[in-house]
Amino acid sequence: MKKSQFKLFYEVLDRFQQEGILKDVILIGSWCVPLYKDYYFKESQIPPLRTLDVDFLVPLPLRVKTKHNIPALLLDLGFVQDFVGSQGYIRLVHPDLMLEFLVHEKGRGEERAVALKNLGINAQSLRFLNVLQEKTIKINVDNKLIIVPHPAWFAIHKLIVAQRRSKQDKADKDLTVAIALLRDLIDMKKKSEIRKAFNFVSKKWQKKILELLKDEQEEEILSVISE
């Protein structure tokens, strides 16, 4: 990962903190990985990060009470608005990073754009994001408290998403990260957290996760979940 990407990433977080936004969003997706590696695990099996996408989950109802305009806030950094899909959710695009804002889609409705007027953006709604916001931790990076999903919940979510991917390379990446995280958590004696995260999801998805882990011959992880 290029130094310029990390520099820009932390500048975005700085601006969110200055605006009072950072405390009301959850960093999800692959950019959690370097934070887990550097600030949560002493040693980690997680593979290196290679992605432009920075995803923020915005819990609903929206906690932000004052008006902000995120596209305008980041304009001088070179981020350009991009309206995506027929519903028109907003993505902020830069040569080094791409920011997306997401909300949890309840039920089985269509994934859609959700206007977050106090942030000046349209967020994309996706299913299963409730797994990521069910249990979070705060990581202190240069006096910025960044909210991220607990690694156990992050890993279980990856095991769900991997089975819903249309592209095999992305599914393989999700699976690799999930298994590495679960192994790290086992090494840290965090087995109970793995079980709690697994038990949070529906019986249907528990069955699918178990089948996937059996296919991958992850006997140690299976034994932890089954205790």
DSSP-derived 3-state class of residue 198: helix
What is the CB-side half-sphere exposure of residue 5 using CA atoms within 13 A?
Answer: 16
What pLDDT does residue 179 have? 96
Provide the H-helix boundaries in the chain. Answer: 3-19, 32-39, 70-73, 130-134, 151-161, 168-187, 191-200, 203-215, 219-226
3-state helix, strand, coil in the chain (%, to 5): 45, 20, 35
What pLDDT does residue 1 have? 65
Tokens 């979940």 sit on residue: 225
Residues of the chain whose pLDDT is less than 70?
A: 1, 86, 107-111
Amino acid at 103: V
What pLDDT does residue 193 have? 98
Closest CA to 153 of 164, 161, 144: 161
Can you tell me the distance from the alpha carbon of 35 to that of 148, in angstroms, rounded to the nearest whole number? Answer: 9
pTM: 0.94
Write the CB contacts of 151 (distance below 8 Å, at least 6 apart in sequence): 36, 40, 41, 181, 184, 185, 190, 193
Count the neighbouring beta carbons within 10 Å of the beta carbon of residue 6.
Answer: 15
Strands 98-104 and 121-126: parallel
